Structure 1
Amino acid sequence: MAKRLLIFLFFSVAFLCKASGQQFVLSGRVVDEQNKPVAFVSIYIRNSTYGTTTNEEGNYQLKLNPGNYRIMYRFVGYKEQVQNVTIGNADQRVNVKLEKEVYQPRAISQRARRGQDTSAMNIMRKVIDKRQYYLNELDSYSCSVYIKGVQKLIEAPNSLMRSGVSNVLSLDSNGKGLLYQSEMLSTFTSARPNKIKEETIAQRMAGVTPAFSYSKASDLQANFYNNVFAVQGLSSRGFVSPIASYAFSYYNYRLVGTAVSGGKTISKIELLPKHKYDPVFRGHIYVVEGDWRLYSVDLMLTDDANFLNLVDTMRISQQYVPIRDSTWMPSSIEYAYSGNVFGFKFEGYYIGLYNNYKFDLKIPDDYFTGEVLHIDTAANLKPTVYWNSQRPVPLTRDEGIDSRKRDSILAIQSTNAYLDSVQRSNNQLSILPYLVFGHTIVHRNAKDTLYIHPFRESFFYNTVEGFGTNLRVRYSKTFDDFSSYSISPAVRYGFGNKLFSANVRSSYTYDLFNAGIFTFDIGSDVLDLNNVATRSLFFNTLSTLLSERNFVKYYRSKFANFGWQREVANGIRLNVGLGYSDRTQLFNTSYYTIFNNKNRDFTSNNPLAPESAPASDRSVLFPQHQALTLNVSARFTFDQPFITRPTGRVFLQSRFPVLTVNYRKAISGILGADANYDFASVTATQDRIRIGLSGYSSFKLAAGTFLSKKTLYFPDFYHFIGNQGTTFDPTDVGSFHFLPFYTYSANSTFLEAHYQHNFSGSILRRVPFVRKLKLEEIVGVNYLTERNNKNYSELYIGIQRLIFRVDYGVSFIGNQRYLQGFRIFYGIR
């Protein structure tokens, strides 16, 4: 009997313990006074850090332990509502009807000159005075983050609907459908002054890549206490916060009225931009009087006024809630957008939900290592049952149907028959893309890839080789541990000089988390005397045949090179290379041109003897020789941020310049090597330094010298990124517009400096008619001096739109004007 009683008590206690830890679901629907659903309502437990939001259909859910709760329902423009809810031993459903908030105007409204609302101005002065305090209020905090993204197609052109597009995009007969869904659960930690770290626990996404996306919580954050607010991908410029320290230069304000919520007076302030095309918001902000802090924001950006990329409108709504005492934090944020591309009308949103705030953290010294995002290895493997239990915001009916349909499709797509069919379809050769971009063949396992270089790179003409072929392919394979290797064989033959070359270049990536790579190249090739870039085979062929300008100068090399690189610590990357080469000077053998220009002749293949007659020139640039070269470099990226994925690390741009120190040594006497010199250089670069609202700057500084040069040949000179011809490549800020490819190649001490600023349209957007083109203005300067050629400089201005750019510049040698003219870029290098 005693034994049975003991067993009964044991199971009773176990049952009670289980019941006490069991959670139940509080759910319901939030509607307005017309019984229409209110989407993205902030719902949270009073005096806690736990809450949720409604979905597009107004539905919500909260998991709660048994107990008594005061549940707050709040959304911009509606009266805050409080519900007392008791959770017993069963799920509860509470539906809520929100009433429109009526903001009462002040009894006395003072008006200053120029129509300014002095009541609003006085409020905003106090808010702006407190901006810095709230910006630095917390030394550290952490929270849980849920991010959901949805993009829908709401209308499509009828002509394209009939062409099968509807099936590809899974659209209904009206051209509507869900294009994209994503969800992410993570923890986010922040500490002053600018340290962040996020750990993604689970993520899922399906559908067509949206107009723009947010891959981490820091992308979705909107801190209007900062002076400038930037939306990733939306504009190259930032936008002035309504409470920026200099906001009065951009905004007028109007006090719509006040209301009392939770015992606090809330002022509704309308934003009135002073100039239509300034980088500012439209809409309203809500301010807690007395505390002079933000209560919520409801802001709008439009393409007409703000010149947005990808979308026509963007609405940003954010709710702040009291977490403890006087500390308020965002409970949710919503980015809602819409757009129209070639008749495809779409809309979408991202919502961020913040829970479980913790303050005054004791953060270990080694916690912030530069890793801004860590994605768990199992983050993408969470099953549907996991998401159904952990998702804080319920899916809408359409989202649920689409999710189940995509799960079913995914199961079908995992079958061998389907994978074989897709492989055959995707790997079919399309002539026009192959001519320009090449052709890629991917095995169905996505681990084996063969890339065939495009036709435009496979056949060429130059004065050294005549007409020729340069056939290249690249095979790459990825293993289960995500290490990989690639092999790139190439054969090249010039019909003019009857010279055949063949080589194999290979690499093995053994450590994706530290950029660990081995490289090995062997064979022979015809190479450019300038080893940092002149013109591609394609563009040199065009300029030679059409314009009788043989800009690029070539030599022959038989080589074997070995290289290694790795991040030995975060931000410190070492590169070591050892190469042996047998070099031979080449001469012109072919002089064919389509349009014979009587005022122009081909130049010698010796860049230092340009006046020599190319047909008879045999001037010596360098004798045949061998070189054994050791190259060691260290790149320092200070405070380097990075993302850790299951497949490796992605290194992001730092806030500080990148410093590279390089040493190159030619070792003589081994394997018959002749070259004997020592070279050292240092380079500092930084790209896209944001300068407030005036766009961003980029710069490069480099200096170097030959410490010794007992035997130095032209291929080992230090070469610069010059440009000859109308087209140029501006993707490297260290490139010149007019510098000859070889004339300034340095065999002594040199210094080069480059600076460029992109105004991001802040000037041209003030010009009628021009502003609609969304052009970005660019100014820059390039400078080079070395012992043999002193004080070469360039000044240029330009305009850019996406991949298209046109510059006009002028260059000087000393005080004498050298060249000037236009340079263009249209995406093909």
Structure 2
Amino acid sequence: MKKYLLLIIFLTGSHLLALAVPVTGTVKDNKGNLLPFASVIVKGGILGTTANNEGKYVLNLPAGSYILQCMHVGYKMMEKEVTVLQQPLQIDFTLLLQELTLQEIVIGDGVEDPAYEIIRQAIKKRSFYKNQVNAFQCQVYIKGQLRLQDYPATIFGQKVDFADGDTGKNKMIYLSETIATYSFQKPEKEKVEVTSTRVSGQAEGFGFGSPRYVTFYDNNIQISNALNPRGFISPIAENALNFYRYQFMGSFTENGRLINHIKVTPKRSYEPLFSGYINIVEEEWRIHSVDLMLTKRSQMELADTLRIEHLYVPVSKDVWMIHSQVVYPAVKMFGFDAKGSFVTVYSDYTLDPEFDKKFFSNIILAYDTGSNKKPRAYWDTVRPVPLLDDELMDYLKKDSLEIVRRDPRYLDSVDRRKNRFTPAGILIFGQTFNRQSKKSSFSYPPLIEITNFNTVEGFNINLGPTYARNFTENRSVSITPTVRYGFTNRHLNADVATQYTFGKWRMNSIALAGGKKVFQINNNNPVKPIVNSYNTLLFGSNYLKIYEAAFAEILYTRGVGEGTTIKANISYQDRMPLENTDDTYWGKAKNITRRTPNYPVELVSENFQRHQALVAAFTVSYRPGTKYIQLPERKINLGSKYPMFTVSFAKGINGLLGSDVDYDRWKFSVKDDINVKLAGMFDYNISVGGFFNNRRLEIPDYQHFNGNRMLVATEYLNSFQLAPYYARSTTERLYATLNIEHHFNGFLTNKIPFIKTLNLHLIGGANAFVVNKNNYYYEAFGGIENILKILRIDYVWGFGNQGFQTSAVRIGFRGGFGGN
């Protein structure tokens, strides 16, 4: 019975599909120029489409009589009556430039440009239109494409090769399509259900599937954190009159409504502001359409320009919604010159639908099973925006190439060509060699990381290549054998670490490690070996304190709920002390302070004795409100607007396997980054912890605070830039730490001449830890970041107990929006 029912459904669906007749055509201006992304809609209905880059459109309609309206921002709307029968129709449109009626206006002597009053009225109605609809649902089609116009032959010493056999400078580097259902409910519930998606050259790829509903009724337009986390101020924001100049360019009539054409200009450069045009409906004071631009002078990162076109259409008597959104990015970076377009067509609006209570969840973007496996014939019937000839060829060429790429012989030949040693890879960057036919890779670190110097081992090598293999999308394994040799103390250490990752919806892992290894006394590794080498050889100070241990460790990580992760590990170390053996010095100063022994002289007067330590630890991390993208085989964590809460507990187990330690250590932390939009980004990390039991501890088991005594900054939200490494380590019952910093992201500096043209950003903050009145440390800092996009320089003031006081410069590798 079931198979007959399926057959009936299939035949009925096919019959209904056959009833839809394609209406096609081309949209041009009166000079014969093609008008890309013009909108063609059925008057008084919810059906519509958008033309492609060449002005060609397709609109499938059932038999009947219709009035088609063709619109393009800046052009006069045209209507045509059509009767759809059984044969396809071709209906072309020729649009005229919008004829603006501009009454004679004398501005000056106290007479204000009428644009300002129009904008004031639009600002008054902004909140009403933003909140007019409590909920809606619509169908969405997204097509994104990015084309290279030029690119360099090499970058960072590596040959630029797209592996497509095409050496031309002009090429399509990205092309995707997505069809989805977008649902919204106030105040901020969203859900996107992707029914079909494709990416050129990726047989089972997932295309750009997030139809971000950007609305200029928001005060702050959040397009992308990568472009500017501060967002951009809408031309009709509550405080827009403080930022923009407006000029009334005239008005035009459309469907009996008078539309005001307003030119928008920023009052000041290097503010997060748009320039261009906004059209406002007279008396209703709603947005009709926008054509706005962002540039580098808008404090935009990554892209050089970004143009946005919006066209609103009525979907009911009183409600207008966005019908089409087109974003044109242009990027020039490192010799690459690329331009593109991302068109989103919103159609079939349903206002105030009834959603099930469980409809909205932490899954905000879900791809249906099989959504990335639709055949070419399917796309030819559902695509509302026709493809260009070169887009069709791109799909055909890259899909054919993808089939060839699956041949192991082809993959091996490509790998042989790419897997070659390069000087830059050997010395600076390291390299990864892939074997695509086996889904495996082999990588090694660069020489500058492998070779170091310290006073214990002298010059040493620490070689740790990694072999990795993916079995499926959800299962992989990696193995890293490491060999370390000190040329002065002649110690050879070797260990191996392996990790197996698995899990369908949440990524779980088991990691095993064992052997003989060199550890820092603070196992958090606050001292970077490469920086310490430079500091020791040229300035005489050796801050790296290390010991050897025969060890074994197992770590299990598992996602147990939405936003919740647990980690459990147990480790065993047979710890052996090490002493200084090398006093090599390359600096010019004659009187060098004698290098300190290889133990924390601030804590103890002699090195620890050999001992054993068996430690079990458990950690739970929880971030409420975590959002996810759900793919057919896995989930992707998108983070949350709420903080991350973490609780950890470590137990030093006495007696078992000869373990000498006996302690119970705990810690609770809260951290988050808060986007305060125009005012910047505020980051914090707060923790409290201590020891319930400290009956027997060795120096590596202390609570160490990650200090820093070298020029290069350490991890900003988990260290103290001027604090000694071990002077304030503790075994007390309670301590607290605080790390806060505020990234102004151009706020304030965009008003300083010259500085604003360099797009430098201010940063300020403070760090502190407190154990008791006899053990505390505070520091404050201020600085500049986004230097050459990656550098950050801070000046830090530090204060502590016993009269400790210092100040110094710290240099870090961090952009305005990046991490360490």
Confirm or deny a common fold (TM above 0.5): yes
Select which of 515, 522, 536 maps to 1:523: 515
Q: Map 1:482-501 onto structure 2 (within 5 A).
A: 482-501=474-493
TM-superposed deviation, 1:58: 0.7
Residue 583 (str. 1) matches residue 575 (str. 2): yes
Match in the other structure for 2:730: 746
Residues 551-580 of structure 1 deviation map (CA, whole Å, 9 limit, x = unaligned):
110012222212212121101111111222
Residue 737 (str. 1) matches residue 721 (str. 2): yes
Q: Decide which moves more: 337-346 or 414-423.
A: 337-346
TM-superposed deviation, 1:236: 4.1
Match in the other structure for 2:215: 223
Distance 1:113 1:58 in 2: 46
TM-superposed deviation, 1:333: 0.6
In structure 2, do the counterparts of structure 1 residues 157 and 814 end up closer, same or farther at CA, with 3 Å as the change threshold? closer
Contact 1:32 1:98 in 2 (8 A): yes
Match in the other structure for 1:349: 341
* Cα RMSD for the two superposed structures: 2.9
TM-superposed deviation, 1:34: 0.9
Distance 2:200 2:495 in 1: 42
SS at match of 2:657: coil
Select which of 797, 801, 806 maps to 1:810: 797
SS at match of 1:393: coil
SS at match of 1:78: coil
Q: Map 1:412-431 onto structure 2 (within 5 A).
A: 412-431=404-423
Contact 2:210 2:365 in 1 (8 A): no
Contact 1:171 1:178 in 2 (8 A): no
Q: Map 1:37-186 onto structure 2 (within 5 A).
A: 37-106=34-103, 109=105, 111=107, 116-117=112-113, 119-154=114-149, 175-186=169-180
TM-superposed deviation, 1:319: 0.7
Q: Map 1:307-326 onto structure 2 (within 5 A).
A: 307-326=299-318
Q: Percent same amino acid among aligned pairs? A: 31
Match in the other structure for 2:784: 799
TM-superposed deviation, 1:611: 11
Residue 692 (str. 1) matches residue 677 (str. 2): yes
Distance 2:445 2:618 in 1: 31
Contact 1:603 1:610 in 2 (8 A): no
Distance 1:679 1:55 in 2: 63
Q: Decide which moves more: 628-637 or 815-824.
A: 815-824
TM-superposed deviation, 1:782: 1.0
Distance 1:815 1:31 in 2: 79
TM-superposed deviation, 1:84: 2.1
Residues 305-325 of structure 1 deviation map (CA, whole Å, 9 limit, x = unaligned):
224323322211101111122
TM-superposed deviation, 1:753: 0.8
Aligned residues: 798
Contact 2:231 2:677 in 1 (8 A): yes
Distance 2:758 2:558 in 1: 44
Residue 592 (str. 1) matches residue 578 (str. 2): no
Question: TM-score if structure 2 supplies the norm length?
Answer: 0.91
TM-superposed deviation, 1:184: 1.9
Distance 2:13 2:429 in 1: 67
Contact 1:778 1:798 in 2 (8 A): yes
TM-superposed deviation, 1:700: 0.8
Q: Decide which moves more: 367-376 or 246-255.
A: 367-376
Distance 2:555 2:586 in 1: 42
Q: Map 1:279-298 onto structure 2 (within 5 A).
A: 279-298=272-291
Residues 190-223 of structure 1 deviation map (CA, whole Å, 9 limit, x = unaligned):
2222222222233333479xxxx993324x4321
Contact 2:144 2:208 in 1 (8 A): no
Match in the other structure for 2:561: 569
Residue 676 (str. 1) matches residue 662 (str. 2): yes
Distance 2:712 2:159 in 1: 39
Match in the other structure for 1:476: 468
Contact 2:602 2:726 in 1 (8 A): no
Match in the other structure for 1:24: 21
In structure 2, do the counterparts of structure 1 residues 265 and 154 end up closer, same or farther at CA, with 3 Å as the change threshold? same
Q: Which runs of 5+ in 1 are unaligned?
A: 1-10, 613-618
SS at match of 1:226: coil
Match in the other structure for 1:3: none
Contact 1:548 1:597 in 2 (8 A): no
Residues 368-393 of structure 1 deviation map (CA, whole Å, 9 limit, x = unaligned):
33122223343333333332222211
Contact 2:489 2:581 in 1 (8 A): yes
In structure 2, do the counterparts of structure 1 residues 582 and 369 end up closer, same or farther at CA, with 3 Å as the change threshold? farther
Q: Decide which moves more: 706-715 or 448-457.
A: 448-457
Contact 1:251 1:274 in 2 (8 A): yes
TM-superposed deviation, 1:767: 2.4
Contact 1:127 1:243 in 2 (8 A): yes
In structure 2, do the counterparts of structure 1 residues 492 and 340 end up closer, same or farther at CA, with 3 Å as the change threshold? closer
Instruction: Name the aligned partner's letter for residue 251 of structure 2.
Output: T
TM-superposed deviation, 1:83: 2.1
In structure 2, do the counterparts of structure 1 residues 16 and 131 end up closer, same or farther at CA, with 3 Å as the change threshold? closer
In structure 2, do the counterparts of structure 1 residues 709 and 449 end up closer, same or farther at CA, with 3 Å as the change threshold? same
SS at match of 1:445: helix
Residues 281-317 of structure 1 deviation map (CA, whole Å, 9 limit, x = unaligned):
11111112232211111111122x2243233222111
Match in the other structure for 1:555: 547
Contact 2:603 2:726 in 1 (8 A): no
SS at match of 2:264: strand
Match in the other structure for 2:451: 459
SS at match of 1:216: coil
Select which of 612, 615, 633 maps to 2:619: 633
Residues 461-518 of structure 1 deviation map (CA, whole Å, 9 limit, x = unaligned):
2111222221212222211352112121112222322322221212211215223111
Q: Which runs of 5+ in 2 are unaligned?
A: 1-7
Match in the other structure for 1:235: 228
Q: Map 1:693-712 onto structure 2 (within 5 A).
A: 693-712=678-697
Question: TM-score if structure 1 supplies the norm length?
Answer: 0.90
